[in-house]
């Protein structure tokens, strides 16, 4: 196990000084060169205005033309020569004391396929990952306190959760009790007494990739893997703290891959859950009233470790050589990182404000979010390889974002005050009740998915009926106006479409009315896509919330989806299916 100097490396509360109300810290790590990678192909550039003391850094990619280089702001970026030990000491270790105080922490590794996520989270026997380093530390503290720890290890494959520590590999059910508390039925908790015992369970299970029930294992599969470390708190009056490590499946843009059948469905589900996680982190960092936990199994499972007083570390892994998917993931990460008041390019602002005014104001926060990120033109860029790590003593600012993370909602503030009040003998049950109440309060504030979908459907109908039929549609192959609006509705690869949009707009010089008409057409198209997506992916209850869809039609839609993964390709197809349904 790597020897660390915690006294020098810890980021203590004394280091905190930033007034940044962010719940999630978003950082990156550039992976070392793999065996067959050309070391000359150094593609990621990072800019640290204050070296290792920088409060934020910018990441850009070498192959973009320097005149139009886009930079993505993140809280920090670790370079190729900085290993798991340093990341643990600066980012993860400070969270451990929080976990002993009954607070949940979640460390998520995200990135393109092969970007080094597993190496950072799981590591190997030779170079332990963040999870093993954390368990080692937690075990040594627990031993001193005479306490014990347990671990759970699960896999999410095609939106099903499986227990990796249970030989029977039962599917885990995510249940919510009467008070809104999440329970993971069927997920075992195994006591762990030593680091070697942990490594044996974690590394061997991770690598064994045992066949999961009812799933053929002939093809490599993309799945998320999660570890939960349950920690006994310092006081019996505190709830059990959890430290979660999530090794996300690698992001792959399926539009660029010629996949079919079950692989296509698998990839779509994986990407959707990655988007949802980013949307949740964005919503938390931006203090939004609605957090879309319910939109994926992963975020649903992690709800109690992402919301309330939890701490989140998003670790974006980057390939050092050209990788389009890495660019996309960084753009998502950067957007989460910005939280409140992200700086956006003029074109993005323009589009956003237009769409906001077009939507009923009560709906605007309820649409799936765009990938607007901080994009700036670069000044002097520094290639990652040219920067040398200059020791660790000065790199102490990262964790202070966590320490400053505000307890933003009133209910959180109240529960904090009460738990720290003198003589407040708050028992475990009461504390849990408070958390539950908080969840219920939040639930009241944020309507469930089905309500949002209903509203999207209503918007769609309104727009279809109100959009003039004689609108001037841009040339058939020019999808820029649709793209501009789709940017608001759905995450997209930052492929310069906004630039294309601006050029197109300038070249055509439309009147305000014509521009409005064109954009509303794009808006309509986006909403149609959302509506179709709902028909293709929504649950039965969500489908039934849509006007005109009752029990029978919802069942029929689900039947159609069993026959083919995405039966509703366009409006025409939808109408046809509707007619078939009527005559069935």
Ligand X SMILES: Nc1ncnc2c1ncn2[C@@H]1O[C@H](COP(=O)(O)OP(=O)(O)OP(=O)(O)O)[C@@H](O)[C@H]1O
Nearer to ligand X, 121 or 482 (CB): 121
Task: State both tokens at 270.
Answer: 């994986």
**Which of 94, 233, 241, 250 lies at the binding interface for ligand X (CB under 6 A)?**
250
Minimum distance, C-beta of residue 45 to ligand X, in the bound complex (Å): 18
Q: Does 311 bind ligand X (CB under 6 A)?
A: no
Question: Angle at CA 252, nearest 5°, toward 247 and 253?
Answer: 145
Task: State both tokens at 100.
Answer: 């002993």
Pick from 500, 465, 468: which is nearest to 482 by CA? 500
Nearer to ligand X, 298 or 486 (CB): 298
Taking the CB of residue 251, how many other CB atoms lie within 10 A of it?
24
Fill in the per-residue mask, 523 to 552: x = in contact with ligand X (CB under 6 A), - = not in contact.
------------------------------
What is the per-residue DSSP string for 204-223? HHHHH-PPPTT---SS----
Only one of the segments 66-74, 106-114, 346-354, 498-506 lies at the binding site for ligand X (rule: CB under 6 A); that segment is 106-114
Nearer to ligand X, 207 or 408 (CB): 207
Task: State both tokens at 463.
Answer: 């727009």
Minimum distance, C-beta of residue 204 to ligand X, in the bound complex (Å): 16
Nearer to ligand X, 164 or 439 (CB): 164
Write out the binding residues for ATP: 111-118
* Phi (first) and psi of residue 491, to 5 degrees: -60, 140
**Which of 31, 73, 311, 375 lies at the binding interface for ligand X (CB under 6 A)?**
31
Only one of the segments 117-125, 165-173, 192-200, 283-291 lies at the binding site for ligand X (rule: CB under 6 A); that segment is 117-125
Minimum distance, C-beta of residue 76 to ligand X, in the bound complex (Å): 17
Q: How far apart are CA 312 and CA 67, in angstroms?
A: 35
CB 298, CB 278: distance < 8 Å: no
Of the CA atoms within 13 Å of residue 459, those in its CB half-sphere come to 27
Taking the CB of residue 385, how many other CB atoms lie within 10 A of it?
17
Only one of the segments 116-124, 261-269, 355-363, 418-426 lies at the binding site for ligand X (rule: CB under 6 A); that segment is 116-124
Nearer to ligand X, 113 or 383 (CB): 113
* Residues of span 126-155 touching ligand X by CB under 6 A: none
Task: State both tokens at 6.
Answer: 């915690």
Q: Does 118 bind ligand X (CB under 6 A)?
A: yes
**Which of 114, 180, 474, 565 lies at the binding interface for ligand X (CB under 6 A)?**
114
Q: Does 115 bind ligand X (CB under 6 A)?
A: yes
Q: How far apart are CA 2 and CA 83, in angstroms?
A: 10
Please give the C-alpha separations between residue 480 and each of 484, 503, 516, in angstroms, as whole numbers. Answer: 6, 10, 14
Taking the CB of residue 407, how many other CB atoms lie within 10 A of it?
16
CB 556, CB 540: distance < 8 Å: no
Q: How far apart are CA 39 and CA 133, in angstroms?
A: 29
Sign of CA dihedral 316, 322, 324, 328: positive
Q: Does 116 bind ligand X (CB under 6 A)?
A: yes
Only one of the segments 108-116, 165-173, 235-243, 558-566 lies at the binding site for ligand X (rule: CB under 6 A); that segment is 108-116
Minimum distance, C-beta of residue 482 to ligand X, in the bound complex (Å): 31
Q: Does 221 bind ligand X (CB under 6 A)?
A: no
Only one of the segments 4-12, 30-38, 389-397, 451-459 lies at the binding site for ligand X (rule: CB under 6 A); that segment is 30-38
Nearer to ligand X, 244 or 536 (CB): 244
Q: Does 32 bind ligand X (CB under 6 A)?
A: yes
**Which of 111, 233, 368, 494 lies at the binding interface for ligand X (CB under 6 A)?**
111
CB 82, CB 32: distance < 8 Å: no
**Which of 1, 14, 34, 145 lies at the binding interface for ligand X (CB under 6 A)?**
34
Nearer to ligand X, 56 or 296 (CB): 296
Only one of the segments 12-20, 94-102, 113-121, 455-463 lies at the binding site for ligand X (rule: CB under 6 A); that segment is 113-121
**Which of 18, 42, 64, 113 lies at the binding interface for ligand X (CB under 6 A)?**
113
**Which of 73, 119, 533, 545 lies at the binding interface for ligand X (CB under 6 A)?**
119
Minimum distance, C-beta of residue 30 to ligand X, in the bound complex (Å): 9
Minimum distance, C-beta of residue 78 to ligand X, in the bound complex (Å): 10
Burial tier of 134 (Cβ tally within 10 Å: 0-12, 13-18, 19+): buried
Nearer to ligand X, 59 or 489 (CB): 59
Minimum distance, C-beta of residue 150 to ligand X, in the bound complex (Å): 25
Task: State both tokens at 540.
Answer: 């039965």
Pick from 17, 488, 27, 21: which is nearest to 286 by CA? 21
Write out the binding residues: 111-118
* Residues of span 481-500 touching ligand X by CB under 6 A: none
Q: How far apart are CA 438 and CA 432, in angstroms?
A: 10
Q: How many residues are listed for the chain in this entry?
A: 584
Q: Does 267 bind ligand X (CB under 6 A)?
A: no
Minimum distance, C-beta of residue 80 to ligand X, in the bound complex (Å): 7
Rg (CA), the chain: 24
Minimum distance, C-beta of residue 384 to ligand X, in the bound complex (Å): 12
Nearer to ligand X, 35 or 346 (CB): 35
Q: Over 427-471, what HEC string results?
A: CHHHHHHHHHHHHHHHHHHCCCHHHHHHHHHHHHHHHHHHCCCCC
Nearer to ligand X, 14 or 34 (CB): 34
Strand runs (DSSP E) across 186-289, as ranges? 190-192, 224-231, 241-247
Beta bridge partners of residue 78, listed in sequence order = 29
Chain center to CA of 4 = 30
Beta bridge partners of residue 479, listed in sequence order = none
Q: How far apart are CA 66 and CA 379, in angstroms?
A: 9
Nearer to ligand X, 34 or 340 (CB): 34
* Residues of span 438-467 touching ligand X by CB under 6 A: none
Task: State both tokens at 278.
Answer: 């980013």
Only one of the segments 28-36, 58-66, 164-172, 450-458 lies at the binding site for ligand X (rule: CB under 6 A); that segment is 28-36
Nearer to ligand X, 244 or 450 (CB): 244
Which residues are at the interface with ligand X (CB under 6 A)?
Answer: 31-34, 111, 113-119, 250, 317
């Amino acid at each position: 196990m790597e020897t660390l100097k915690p006294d020098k490396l810890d980021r203590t509360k004394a280091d905190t000084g930033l007034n940044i109300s962010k719940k999630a810290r978003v950082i990156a790590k550039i992976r070392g060169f793999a065996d067959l990678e050309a070391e000359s192909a150094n593609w990621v550039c990072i800019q640290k205005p204050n070296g290792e003391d920088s409060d934020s850094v910018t990441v850009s990619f070498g192959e973009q033309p320097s005149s139009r280089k886009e930079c993505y702001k993140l809280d920090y970026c670790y370079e190729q020569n900085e290993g798991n030990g340093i990341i643990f000491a600066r980012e993860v270790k400070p969270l451990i004391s929080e976990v002993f105080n009954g607070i949940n922490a979640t460390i998520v590794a995200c990135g393109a396929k092969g970007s080094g996520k597993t190496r950072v989270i799981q590591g190997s026997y030779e170079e332990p990952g963040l999870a093993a380093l954390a368990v080692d530390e937690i075990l040594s503290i627990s031993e001193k306190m005479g306490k014990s720890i347990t671990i759970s290890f699960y896999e999410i494959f095609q939106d099903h959760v499986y227990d990796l520590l249970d030989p029977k590999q039962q599917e885990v059910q995510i249940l919510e009790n009467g008070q809104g508390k999440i329970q993971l039925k069927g997920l075992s908790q195994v006591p762990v007494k030593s680091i070697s015992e942990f490594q044996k369970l974690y590394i061997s299970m991770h690598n064994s990739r045992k066949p999961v029930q009812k799933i053929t294992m002939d093809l490599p599969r993309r799945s998320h893997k999660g570890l939960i470390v349950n920690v006994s708190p310092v006081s019996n009056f505190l709830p059990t703290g959890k430290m979660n490590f999530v090794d996300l499946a690698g992001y792959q843009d399926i539009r660029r891959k010629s996949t079919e059948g079950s692989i296509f469905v698998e990839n779509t589900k994986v990407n959707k859950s990655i988007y949802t996680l980013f949307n949740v982190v964005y919503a938390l960092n931006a203090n939004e009233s609605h957090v879309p936990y319910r939109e994926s199994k992963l975020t649903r499972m992690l709800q109690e470790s992402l919301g309330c007083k939890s701490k989140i570390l998003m670790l974006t892994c980057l390939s050092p050589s050209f990788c389009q998917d890495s660019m996309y993931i960084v753009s998502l990460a950067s957007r989460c990182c910005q939280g409140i008041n992200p700086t956006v390019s003029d074109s993005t602002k323009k589009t956003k404000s237009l769409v906001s005014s077009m939507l009923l104001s009560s709906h605007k926060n309820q649409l799936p979010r765009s990938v607007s990120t901080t994009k700036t033109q670069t000044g002097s860029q520094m290639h990652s390889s040219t920067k040398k790590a200059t020791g660790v003593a000065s790199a102490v600012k990262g964790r202070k974002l966590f320490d400053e993370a505000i307890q933003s909602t009133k209910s959180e503030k109240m529960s904090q005050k009460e738990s720290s009040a003198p003589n407040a003998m708050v028992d475990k049950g009461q504390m849990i009740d408070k958390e539950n109440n908080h969840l219920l309060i939040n639930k009241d504030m944020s309507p469930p998915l089905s309500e949002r979908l209903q509203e999207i459907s209503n918007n769609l109908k309104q727009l279809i009926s109100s959009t003039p039929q004689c609108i001037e549609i841009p040339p058939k192959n020019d999808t820029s106006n649709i793209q501009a609006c789709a940017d608001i509705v759905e995450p997209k690869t930052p492929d310069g479409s906004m630039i294309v949009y601006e050029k197109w707009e300038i070249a055509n010089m439309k009147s305000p009315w014509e521009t409005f008409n064109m954009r509303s057409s794009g808006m309509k198209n986006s909403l149609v896509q959302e509506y179709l997506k709902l028909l293709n992916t929504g649950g039965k209850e969500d489908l039934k919330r849509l006007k005109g869809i009752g029990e029978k039609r919802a069942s029929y839609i689900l039947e159609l989806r069993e026959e083919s993964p995405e039966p509703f390709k366009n409006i025409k197809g939808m109408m046809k299916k509707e007619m078939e349904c009527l005559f069935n």
